[in-house]
Amino acid sequence: MRQAGKNKLPCLPVALGELDIFLFGQGKHWDLYRVLGAHPHDGPEGSGYRFAVWAPNARSVSVVTDQNDWTPGRQSLHPVAASGIWAGFIPGFEKGWLYKFAVEQKHGGIVEKADPFALCTEMRPGIAARAWDLDSYAWNDAAWMAERREKGLPLNEAVSFYEVHPGSWRWKSAEYGSFYSYRDLAETLVPYVRDLGFTHIEFMPLAEHPLDESWGYQTGHYFAPTSRFGTPEELRYLIDVCHQNGIGVILDWVPAHFPKDTWGLGRFDGTGLFEHEDPRQGEHPDWGTYVFNYDRHEVKNFLLANALYWFKEFHIDGLRIDAVASMIYLDYSREEGQWIPNQYGGKENIAAIELMRELNTVVHDHFPGACMIAEESTSWAGVSRPVYTGGLGFTFKWNMGWMNDTLDYFSKDPIYRGFHQNQLTFSMLYAFHENFILPLSHDEVTHGKGALISKMPGDQWQQMANLRLFLAYMWAHPGKKLLFMGCEFGQWKEWNSREPLDWVLMDFPSHRGVSELVRALNRVHKDHPSMHAKDNDWTGFEWVDLSDYAASVITFLRKSPTGAPVLWAFNFTPIVRESYAVGCRIPGYWREIVNTDSALFGGTNAGNGGGVMAQSAAYGNWPHYLSLTLPPLAAVAFTPE
């Protein structure tokens, strides 16, 4: 490698394809990341790197690098006619060298900017890009990718997500920053998740971000996997290993806003380029960030190409879109006078809505079987309905209402729960309006909210029993499942991104019991079609009894056309209820397939001895009934044999 300051070769003009420029102007260049940014190139002068950046209002743009002493003007890019793009070729530039763009802005002054299309970056706190390439990894997941295409969307499959913040899942030592690498995670996280039976890992944002405490939600480099854990090829390896072990990978993605750092996208050429100039449209008051200008074709193309990049170049299986509500409402978190109505006088952000619809259409068209997931916290209709029916086109929507109501119910002392049973039953009024995911995410166990188990009332035994009951209720309820790391073994302390999980708790039987229960729930969820095949359809659910407020007991059936029904009974009090009658249609023996009070899970082993015979007498509108023992603060599930 050359010594810093030795590369004095000029930046030579380089041609960009007319079709590339046309598609970019239309906002429809799906491989834009192969045109803009820095890419290996062979010219008459030898091999090197070709650079291109969109800065239509800049006076000049040059490449500054550790090879030219970071001096603006030495290697100037050339304007590409009628495109707003500056481009050039530097012979002798090598992979791994650091670079930035020195942008002489519209109103004067030169600002060093990070490459918006950087494929790799230096380790924080540095923000320079590393010259990299896209084609240095050989994939070994052809079988997985083919099966995903053939199966299509997993709407009727057993799906459970394990949400992970890789910087705090495990550490190599007690020293902050001793993160597991992508390769370490391939060796440890993947078998752990596979053993617990989760079908997917959902990673919090892995795009490069300068501040650890932002957890990736203030993205600095949209096309560069964070260097905290290794190289882009090592992230590909991690995803490849996931696929070879039958585990899908979802990435959190943040198209709603971006940081105001002077080196970033904001005021890139001295104007509101990626963001609106007007702060009523271009700034987020809560987060102190810029909002993308979704009206601009080139900005829309930046986001669409970025989403497709993760699917095409990293083989991910889905994107979870953060803060969708903040995108589709112009008045989101704004007072009167702080926002501008759309052309019809409404509060809907029409450009953002159209971006979501086009994004979902293009992803589903290009990558059959891939999931698009919305974190949308309002009652917007049709989030997970097809675009051709007027929906936003997402595959799934997070069910925030279920999460809030259920956590609030479980936080109450059991003596009061009978007065709030509607918090459990209300969700069934809208459970099939969308394709829902039931989320217990990182947001519920941080910022003073406490750990999941700390929300449960009672002494330590009751808290553990309540946690097991909560998890069983979550898995039994219609909808796909998402559980944040640490909740699967009952971590006591609130999640802190600067500390690893309390793995020492796995030495205690009660915590191992919670983990065993999660494994059992995933197995039941997968093995019984009635537990997942009709997640999005009323025909997959039937109340048996939702009216026993006095006992704080509810019972329901999960059903499917291809499997035996599963009867669930939940006792939300610490009182053992013996000879509790539950109506059923099918005579004969009903086998107990789940009992959260089992000693295996840390319970008292109260229950039904493995199953019960249906009584032939009618019970209410049911031709038969089961006489059950309902353990304290526990769920039991049965299926007929």
CB atoms inside a 10 Å sphere around CB 533? 21
**322 an active-site residue?**
yes
Kindly indicate the confidence band of residue 95, based on its pLDDT and cuts at 50, 70 and 90: very high
- Average confidence (pLDDT) over 508-518: 98
18-130 maps to CATH 3.30.1280.10: no
pLDDT, residue 5, reads 44
Burial 94-121 (b: 16+ CB within 10 A, else e): eeebbbbbbbbbbeeebbebbbbbbbbb
pLDDT, residue 8, reads 62
Kindly indicate the confidence band of residue 4, based on its pLDDT and cuts at 50, 70 and 90: very low
pLDDT at 1 over 50: no
Measured in whole angstroms, the distance separating CA 619 from the mean position of its chain's CA atoms is 45
**137-157, pLDDT tens digit by residue?**
999 999 999 999 999 999 999
Whole-number Å distance between alpha carbons of 568 and 528? 13
pLDDT, residue 10, reads 84
538-640 maps to CATH 2.60.40.1180: yes
Whole-number Å distance between alpha carbons of 265 and 101? 12
CB atoms inside a 10 Å sphere around CB 5? 14
Q: Which of 323, 304, 308 is nearest to 254 (CA)?
A: 323
**345-368, pLDDT tens digit by residue?**
999 999 999 999 999 999 999 999
Catalytic residue among 322, 434, 516, 535: 322
The pTM score is 0.96
**233 an active-site residue?**
no
Kindly indicate the confidence band of residue 9, based on its pLDDT and cuts at 50, 70 and 90: confident
Whole-number Å distance between alpha carbons of 305 and 222? 10
Q: Report the SS3 class of residue 126.
A: coil
How does the average pLDDT of the chain come out, rounded?
A: 96
Alpha helices in 197-275 (DSSP H): 232-244
Among 9-18, 213-222, 595-604, which is the least confidently predicted range?
9-18
- Average confidence (pLDDT) over 25-39: 97
Kindly indicate the confidence band of residue 2, based on its pLDDT and cuts at 50, 70 and 90: very low
Instruction: With residue 469 as reference, give the H or E element that holds it.
Output: helix 460-476
Q: Which of 552, 553, 563 is nearest to 528 (CA)?
A: 563
Q: What is the DSSP letter of 35?
A: T
β-pairing, 46-54 vs 200-203, is unpaired
Domain ranges of the chain: 18-130, 538-640
Whole-number Å distance between alpha carbons of 410 and 421? 10
Catalytic residue among 20, 184, 269, 375: 375
- Average confidence (pLDDT) over 489-516: 97
Whole-number Å distance between alpha carbons of 570 and 521? 15
- Do domains 18-130 and 538-640 share one topology? The answer is yes
pLDDT, residue 578, reads 97
